[in-house]
Structure 1
Amino acid sequence: MMNLAEDLRQAAEAVALLGSSSADYEALPDAALLAGQGQIASARRLLDTRAAWMAGTIARRSRPELGHSGLAARQGFLSPEALIQKWTGSSKGDAYKLVAVGTMLADAEAAEKLVEAAVSSPGTDAAVVAAFVAKVPWQAPIARAVTAGTLSVDAAESIRAGLGQIDAAVTAEKLAAALEALLVEVSSLNADQVFKRARRMRDSLDEAGIAAREKQAYDDRYLRVYRLNNGNVRLNGLFSPEDGEFVLSTFDSITGPRRGGVRFVDTERAAWAKKMQDDPRSNEQIAADSLVQLLKIAGEADPGRMFGGRRPSVRVIMTQKAFTNRQPDQPGQPNQAGQAGQAGPAGPAGQTGPAGQAGQAVPAGPAGQPGRAGQPGRAGQPGQPGRAGQAGQSGEAGQVSDHGPGEPATHG
């Protein structure tokens, strides 16, 4: 019989002996450090098990049918997950995970106790025992492993979500068999790997459902673009696995030299890799600049297909004084070269000067009034469709120069 309280006490004491400051941990030799990591992981699994029990209990006492008399409602929360978030400071996803695993543990434990009671009761008919056994959830082995501290709550949720629910094609018996095989492997896998393995097992059990799941993953895609109060623009998106892999591959290729990627033999590519390694921008800034540049390249390559024949542009109005006294481009800041072309000088007050290309500033007229930017067009010809400039040249419609993504170019 496991003494769960004693296991937790011993695990906590082992972690406490590791030290009480960063300096204490820095002083540990490598062997002790690795052993300590294992002790912390063991203690955390035991604590997370108790967190799941607590979350499951809170969820049962906050059942929807209890209405306003439920525990969460009495505390002013709309759901047990919200109550748990308040006390733990965790994310919504972590709260949902604790509730899901805690509910699974409680259901499995209650069903197994009924079986034990039926078996231990004298004179119980075998058919009655079999009926109780049939009611034990197929997830019961997950619950036992979590309770024993051999399976983390994260891995348990990965198995539960990955294998899915019983349906017409996948019976409880099939899921139980898959779970038995999966539990043999999980000790050497992290939670993400466990989910992928469980999902592949589910696909092998329900090949007919693969197409439906793929369609659902594709239908769930979205990209939200919105402006913040300070003028910045934020993106938030979700892509299907196939499209998402392409997106990841694209940005991985751009920042590869920063992450210890392949070493190039070709002189030009090696120079590019060295330039990326020495770039003062963060990987996130490089990714943001690269996305903007990729959109500009797409617009120049085929504006009729992606943008309906109208190339996206940004118009900036500034005074003659500001235009004349502007500071040179600073390192790490986007400049005018290689962007959508430059504006012509302003005409007389109130009149339109020569057509400026999209994205550049138009200086003000002599009377102090801002000159109006011309429509995108060939240099000096307002109202005509813009023409792509050559790579690396300033003053033409935004082409890619020979510098890295989003990197400052120099004015010729």
Structure 2
Amino acid sequence: MRISCRLSEIVGDLRAVMGEVAELLSGFSDDEVLEVMAAVETVGRVVSAGQVRVAGEVAVRSRSELGDEGLSRAQNFTSPLKLVAHVTGVSARESKARLELGRRMRGAMLLGGGEGPVPFPSVASALNEGGLGVEAAAVIVRQCGELAQRGCGVDVVASAEQTLVDETLTRGLSADQTAKLAIRLREILDPDGAEPRDELHQQQRSLTIAQASDGMIRGKFALTPEQGGIWLASIQAMQSPRVTGPRFLSEDEAMAEFATADTRTQAQKNADTITELLARAAGSPDMPRINGATTTVNVHITLDDLEAGRGVGWIDGVDEPVPASTVAQLRCHSPLAATVFGDRGEVLHHGKTKRLFTAAQNRALAARDGGCVWPDCDRPPSYCETHHADEWVSPDHPPGRTDIDNGVLLCHFHHSHLHKSAWRLVMREGVPHIVPPRWIDITQTPIPTTRRPTARPQHYAA
């Protein structure tokens, strides 16, 4: 076919040009790199417009009323999505996006078999010229389609389409910015549409959680805008850094700060934050009680493993075991009540008895430590857990007293990190010190750490 041959020739020429770009790119100036990027993007947009157009034709020729004579079934595919994915090699998600946009961009089928007027001419023109990206085009088509479904007039929809295209092109908006603009314009043109959309959102909200084969608890969720706002605001509030003044660090302090830096990814921080929120809520006095007891995490572990700090524990309702360090952390402090069972089902220790620090002791620790004592951690006392510097093992175990000179405040993350890592925490004259691993400090010199406002600098001379 002539067009296929021409396209093959273009592909050959494009390969040659991109080969030159690859050879010369490192020698380009910054402006030249950006200029080439823009040119390549225009080429990509023209190609993407063709992909959408062809996919739309495949969709029309595979419509259900054609039955087995439709294109996809005639090619032994159960759906046009599978046909597009097979021919192009793209994912099912990308195939679906191309088919949906191509179907919406194509004119309606007329009785005589011809194609009706293009429903979104401004989008089609900008898309074919390479000025408008496929993502932005999909946003405009979807929002304008919703306006039409809501009963807005043809002139209103056409005006909205033209406005969004013009704003995107003249202001150089990204697809995300176009989406935000489209929502604002939609609310201006159809202010009564918010209520039915909210009803749909309420029906679509969901949260599913299950244990995966790898032992992780995985799930997915869909939140209404209101629920999402609460989640986002809560996460941002708990993750916002403290506002502090200028700090002048000694060489030792700078090394300690580098060694104790938080290396979590943002996704990991989000997971830890939500877990912390749930744990705090579960321990709240306002939470529902079961037979008068607060939310309880039951952990099964043998007495030998518990006292030796080895082996694993089993949490009720979770098939994957947890290491002894996690059991020790739950026993050390938890806003949940952690009940530890022996191998015969007997209760070994319960998380809300003599082992835990009292409210008065926690207030004293809050005044002394000012929050999590780990260097540069900004968690206030209300977000911290109480850790025994000398571990509390059993009532007849000599060390590990539940006294304020043996207690220290740590946030959930650093509490867990301390139990699982080579770092240690000790008390020196009533002040918590962290002891780095030998690979960080061969002498393992304890580093004093506290956030109390009356604490003197480490090298302060009286």
TM-score by structure 1 length? 0.69
1:176 aligns with 2:183: no
Q: CA deviation at 1:196?
A: 1.9
Alpha-carbon distance in structure 2 between the residues aligned to 1:308 and 1:95: 54
Confirm or deny that 1:339 pairs with 2:330.
yes
Structure 1 runs not aligned, ≥5 long: 116-134, 344-356, 382-386
Q: One-letter code of the match for 1:203?
A: E
Match of 1:403 among 375, 400, 410: 410
1:129 corresponds to: none
Q: 1:346 corresponds to which residue?
A: none
Alignment partner of 1:222 is 2:206 = yes
- 1:317-332 to 2 correspondences below 5 Å: 317-326=300-309
Could you say if the C-alpha distance between residues 167 and 103 of structure 1 is closer, same or farther in structure 2, counting changes exceeding 3 Å? Answer: closer
1:392 has 2:372 as partner:
no
For residues 351 and 306 of structure 2, what CA distance do their matches in structure 1 show? 21
**CA distance in structure 2 between the partners assigned to 1:18 and 1:306 by the alignment:** 67
Is 2:248 the partner of 1:265?
A: no
Q: Choose from 178, 182, 193 the match for 1:209.
A: 193
Deviations 1:38-69 (A, max 9, x none): 12211110111111122112212211112233
292-301 or 213-222: bigger deviation: 213-222
Distance 1:338 1:37, change over 3 A: same
Q: 2:142 & 2:289 partners in 1: Cα distance?
A: 38
Instruction: Report what 2:120 is aligned to.
Output: 139
Contact 1:61–1:70 (Cα < 8 Å) also in 2: yes
Query: What TM-score comes out, normalization by structure 2 length?
Result: 0.63
Supply the distance in 2 between the matched residues of 1:36 and 1:380 (Cα, whole angstroms): 70
Distance 1:104 1:18, change over 3 A: same
What is the aligned partner in structure 2 of residue 69 from structure 1? 69
Corresponding residue to 2:228 among 226, 244, 247: 244
What corresponds to 1:123 in structure 2? none
What SS is found at the alignment partner of 2:123?
Answer: helix
Is the aligned partner of 1:33 residue 2:33?
A: yes
In structure 2, C-alpha distance between the alignment counterparts of 1:266 and 1:82, rounded to whole Å: 60
Quickly say closer, same or farther: Cα 1:60–1:137, change in 2 above 3 A: closer
SS in 1 for 2:264: coil
Q: 1:242 to 1:93 in 2, by over 3 A?
A: farther
Structure 1 residues 251 and 82: CA distance shift in structure 2, 3 A: farther
- Preserved CA contact (<8 Å) 1:108 1:143: no
1:190 maps onto 2:170 in alignment: no
Is the partner of 2:218 in helix, strand or coil?
A: strand
SS at structure 2 position matched to 1:170 = coil
Quote the residue 1:373 is aligned against.
Answer: 347
2:139 matches 1:155: no
Give the corresponding residue for 2:280: 297
Distance 2:239 2:20 in 1: 38
Q: Would the aligned equivalents of 1:159 and 1:198 in 2 still touch at CA under 8 Å? A: yes
| Whole-angstrom CA distance in 2 between matches of 1:15 and 1:250 | 50
**Counterpart Cα distance in 2 of 1:41 and 1:21:** 14
Q: Residues 250 and 318 of structure 1: is their aligned pair in 2 closer, same or farther, counting only changes over 3 Å? A: same
Match of 2:43 in 1: 43
Superposed CA RMSD in Å reads: 4.4
Question: Which residue identity does 1:230 align to in structure 2?
Answer: D
SS at match of 1:234: strand
**AA matched with 1:28:** F
Taking structure 1 as reference, are residues 19 and 404 closer, same or farther at Cα in structure 2, changes over 3 Å only?
farther
1:128 matched residue in structure 2: none
> How far did 1:201 drift?
1.5
Q: Contact 1:225–1:235 at 8 Å: present in 2 too? A: yes
Match of 2:106 in 1: 106
**1:125-175 CA distance string (max 9 Å, x none):** xxxxxxxxxx63541211121122221111110001122342464011111
Partner of residue 233, structure 1 = 217
Q: For residue 69 of structure 2, what is the amino acid of its counterpart?
A: S
Q: Which amino acid aligns with 2:222?
A: L
When residues 87 and 102 of structure 1 are mapped into structure 2, their CA distance, relative to the original with a 3 A threshold, is same
Cα deviation for residue 89 of structure 1 reads 4.6
Does the 8 A contact of 2:340 with 2:348 survive in 1? Answer: no
Question: 1:37–1:298: structure 2 CA closer, same or farther, 3 Å change rule?
Answer: same
CA distance in 2, matches of 1:289, 1:226: 18
When residues 168 and 227 of structure 1 are mapped into structure 2, their CA distance, relative to the original with a 3 A threshold, is: closer
How far the C-alpha of 1:230 sits from its partner, in A, is 3.1
Mapped to 2, the partners of 1:109 and 1:28 lie a distance apart of 50
How has the CA–CA distance of structure 1 residues 70 and 303 changed in structure 2, closer, same or farther, with 3 Å as cutoff? farther
Instruction: Give the letter for the 2:206 counterpart.
Output: Y
Tell me the secondary structure at the aligned position of residue 297 of structure 2: coil
Q: Could you tell me which amino acid in structure 1 is paired with residue 279 of structure 2?
A: K
- Any idea what SS the aligned residue of 2:263 has? coil
Higher relative contact order (CA 8 A, sep 6+): 1
**Contact 2:72–2:78 (CA<8 Å) still a contact in 1?**
yes
